[in-house]
A = this chain, B = another copy of it.
Amino acid sequence: MPLPEPIGIYAVLDADTLAPDRLPGAALTMAGEGVRVFQVRGKSLSGRALLALVTAVRDALGPGPTLLVNDRVDVAALAPCDGVHLGDQDLPVAAARRLLPPGAIVGYSTHSIDEAALDHGADYIGFGPVFASTTKPSGRTPLGIEGLRQACGVAPVPVVGIGGIGLDAVAELRRAGASGIAMISALLSTPDVRPTAAAAVRGFQGTEPLDGGRS
């Protein structure tokens, strides 16, 4: 599937945060509440296990939602998914596109306003950490809501805010111009995924970007 416009809640299905066998069910629950974009991340999984996990998530979700894979371009190219999300230590965007089918979605992580303003050849950029992340401590200084607002103003593609984002921040980040809002712990480390996902989607949908950022 192409990337929705706006992206909305962007659920990172992190196999180091929730056990892999629970992720497909969690994804299905989130999709039922209106989440339309998912990224599978499994830094500690083998290639074979990651391929199996992406396949299981797609089986759970069906063809509608957008499904991306973190880092592993080979898995993204072979799995029933829509593309890949790359960090600055992963394979370059242009190289990844050579292995992916035409029209595949490629996202790229940025960590400063200057980086956000560049054309990385990606279909969207991640921008963060917005807040201090507990799931993926990066050692980077949080860029804050004001940083996100500036990034959305200069980025040539839609911006997904990421890093330590909880339910309480969704509406404000959307108002700051984010097309998407990545959530990991806030969605996965909760006793009941359904009301959390529903509240996140409501928080996003109930607001419109005020600042002219690309949405």
Hey, which bits of chain A sit against chain B, CB under 8 A?
A: 46-49, 51, 71-75, 77-78, 87-92, 95-96, 98-99
Contact = CB atoms under 8 A, between A and B. Distances in A.
Given A72-B74, A74-B72, A74-B73, A95 B46 contact: no
Contacts of A75: 91
A98 B46 CA distance: 19
Contact of A47 (B46, B51, B73): B73
A74 B75 CA distance: 8
Interface centre among A74, A87, A92, A99 (most CB of B within 10 A): A74
Contact of A98 (B47, B78, B91): B78
A49 B89 contact: yes
A109 to B, nearest CB: 12
A74 B99 contact: yes
Contacts of A51: 91, 95
A48 B78 contact: no
Contacts of A90: 46-48
Given A48-B92, A74-B91, 8 more contacts: A46-B90, A47-B73, A47-B91, A48-B88, A48-B89, A48-B90, A49-B89, A74-B74
13 contacts: A46-B89, A46-B90, A47-B71, A47-B89, A47-B91, A48-B88, A48-B89, A48-B92, A49-B89, A72-B74, A74-B74, A77-B99, A78-B91
A74 to B, nearest CB: 4
Contacts of A99: 74, 77-78, 99
A75 B74 CA distance: 8
A68 to B, nearest CB: 15
Nearest to A98: B78
Nearest to A72: B74
Contacts of A98: 78
